[in-house]
A and B are shown apart, each in its own frame.
Chain A
């Protein structure tokens, strides 16, 4: 193609007036080996446009059919819940812990249990006495 024609096309190109066919003519010209020296700087641009159009998307597209799966999941969940409720309702009353026939023994055993409880409570209370000591010494110090 005539150099003059190319120059005219280039001017049109930069004004965005060229058609796709004319732009392809330009691309052809700049991919050839005899580009005029004063147009050399445009060669990389047109070469790049052509090369950029050859990039491919290589990954797969994840098209999951999710809906059916979710449906079955809810069925499974409701089965589990129904089973849980069923076993909860049908649970046997708690087994017998045993009782005393003789009221004397019952009283003794009760007292024993309560003693054990109060001993353990006192253990905690004892350590509070220490705090009182601190309070006393604080008072003696700060009064002076």
Chain B
């Protein structure tokens, strides 16, 4: 496999890898580094890629494991970085400022969820994977994925309702 063939394989899902990494690591820079790392790992194993039924699922699994390892080692060294780049947005989105504010709130709420629920919510509600794929990536069975997803969504609902009734969103 040469370089351009490899690039053709990873192009459809490299953004998803980045978004999953960002969901766990929060920081843009760390997510970019993680994405590069994952792609380099795939490249090093390029000869084995054909034996996998879905390279995308493999990439997502590697990303998940790599990012969880990163978080673990960060915790072990007691380095708690406070990320302040929530305000980072894609340019060119012609949306109302009010929408952006409320999206930031939703993002903060989502990033407060436990890692496993965050991963599953990301893969389902942002990336729209089906349960079978998520179960494979997470190495869980489908009903366990459903339970975790339902828990994550209900947690979001609870927080959003709380926020809504306090009127924080409307200030």
Contacts and interface: CB of A to CB of B under 8 A. Distances in A.
Interface stretch (A35-43, A70-78, A79-87): A35-43
A103 B163 CA distance: 109
A57 B32 contact: yes
Contacts of A13: 153
Contact of A53 (B10, B19, B150, B164): B19
Nearest to A50: B126
Interface in A1-38: 13-17, 20, 23-24
A87 B130 CA distance: 69
B126 A52 contact: yes
Interface in B14-49: 14-15, 17-19, 22, 32, 35-36, 39-40, 43
Contacts, number: 98
B18 A41 contact: no
Nearest to A55: B19
Secondary structure of the B side of the interface? helix
B35 A57 contact: yes
Contacts of A47: 99, 102-103, 106
Interface stretch (A59-67, A88-96, A128-136): A59-67
A53 B129 CA distance: 12
B66 to A, nearest CB: 15
A84 to B, nearest CB: 35
B103 A51 contact: yes
A52 B17 CA distance: 13
A61 B10 contact: yes
Given A13-B153, A57-B32, 8 more contacts: A20-B130, A23-B124, A44-B105, A51-B95, A51-B103, A54-B93, A61-B10, A63-B39
